[in-house]
Amino acid sequence: MTQPKYMLTVEGVSKTYDGFKAITDLNFYLFEGELRTVIGPNGAGKSTFFDLITGRAKPDKGKIEFGMNTDLTKMNEYEINRLGIGRKFQTPSVFTEHTVYNNIVLSLVGSRGVFASIFKRLSSTERDRIDELLKLVRLDTKRDWKAGMLAHGEKQWLEIGMLLAQEPKILLVDEPAAGMTDEETHRTGELLISLAGKHSIVVIEHDMTFVKQIARDGQVTVLHQGSVLCEGKFDAVQSNPKVREVYLGRGKSGGK
Ligand SMILES: Nc1ncnc2c1ncn2[C@@H]1O[C@H](COP(=O)(O)OP(=O)(O)OP(=O)(O)O)[C@@H](O)[C@H]1O
C-alpha cells in the first residue's frame, strides 16, 4: 500500500511576540489532497500559524516543511508563494475597478504589471483556463462586471478563483464564511470540497455549521493557546469536553 504523502510538516514550532507565546511547540501534518479545518477560540494562534507557514512571520524554533523536505523557515514570503502555497485572507482583496474576468487574468499571468497583463494576448489555453475558473467559482455570468459591484460572498469566490489561477498546491483559507449569508456559506463549502484532492487545503473557521459541512469525514484540528488541543473527526471534536470548555460552549458562533 502506498503511504499518503505529507504536503506540510510543522514540528515543534514556537513563536513569541514580546514575550507572549503566540505558538507553542506546535505539531501539524497535512496530507496531499486533504481538506483540513482548524478551529479555536480568539487568540488561539490560528492566523499566526498561517503567518508562519507563508513566511510572513518566522518561527523562533521548529521545523516547517513543504512536501517531503523543502524547508520553509529559510524562505521569504515571495519564494514560499512561488512554491505553490497560496493564502486567502479573511477580507477579500480584489481589484475593484477591474472586471471579474480581468481579475483572473491578472492572477493568471503573474506580476508583469496591471496593464501589460490585461493587454497581453492570452493563449487559447489561458482563455480556456479562465473560463473554467469562472465557472468553478460560479461567476461566469458576471465576467464583465466590475469586481467592486459583486456581493461580499462573490468577491470571496473571485479571490479564491484568483488564487486557483496560480495553481497552488496548498491553499490556506482564513475564515471564508465570515460575513456571508447562509446560502453563500454553503456554496463556499461546496467549492472547497470540490477543490480537495487536487489541492491540499487548510481552512480556519469559526462557524461550526460550515465546519461540519466541509469536514465531513476528515480531520478537524483544535488550536488553543498556540498548541493543538485535540484533533479528530468533527463529532469527536465537538463532543470532546476539553474543546467544549475552551471553545464550543461559549464565544462567537460557538453554540451553532
Ligand atoms: N505581529 C504580532 N505582534 C504581537 N502580537 C501578535 C502578533 N500576531 C499575533 N499576536 C498575538 O498572538 C496571539 C495569537 O493571535 P492570532 O491572531 O494568531 O490568533 P487567532 O487564533 O487567529 O485569533 P482570531 O480568531 O481572533 O483571529 C494574540 O494574542 C495576538 O495578539
What is the distance in A from the centroid of ligand 1 to the CA of 22?
Answer: 6
pLDDT of residue 197 exceeding 60: yes
Question: Is the ipTM beyond the 0.90 threshold?
Answer: yes
Cell of 36: 483540513
Buried b (16+ CB within 10 A) or exposed e, 40-64: bbeebbbbbbbbbbbbebebeebeb
Ligand 1 lined by 48 (C-beta under 6 Å): yes
What is the distance in A from the centroid of ligand 1 to the CA of 50?
Answer: 11
Q: Rounded mean pLDDT of the chain? A: 90
Ligand 1 lined by 41 (C-beta under 6 Å): no
Ligand 1 lined by 19 (C-beta under 6 Å): no
- Tell me the per-residue pLDDT of 113-157, one tens digit each, with 9 for 90 and over: 555 656 667 788 888 999 999 999 999 999 999 999 999 999 999
Residue nearest to atom 11 of ligand 1 (CA): 22
Q: What residues have CB less than 8 Å from 209, skipping those under 6 apart? A: 185, 256
- Tell me the per-residue pLDDT of 178-194, one tens digit each, with 9 for 90 and over: 999 999 999 999 999 99
Q: What is this structure's pTM?
A: 0.91
Residue nearest to atom 25 of ligand 1 (CA): 42
Ligand 1 lined by 16 (C-beta under 6 Å): no
Q: Which atom from ligand 1 is nearest to the alpha carbon of 49? A: 18
- Cβ-contact 126, 102 below 8 angstroms: no
**CA dist 8 → 4, 39, 122 (Å):** 12, 18, 34
Cell of 146: 466590475
Q: For the chain, which domains are there?
A: 6-93+169-248 (3.40.50.300), 95-149 (no CATH)
Q: Which atom from ligand 1 is nearest to the alpha carbon of 18? A: 4
pLDDT of residue 123: 80
Helices (H), 21-150: 46-54, 77-83, 100-109, 114-119, 124-136
Residue nearest to atom 26 of ligand 1 (CA): 42
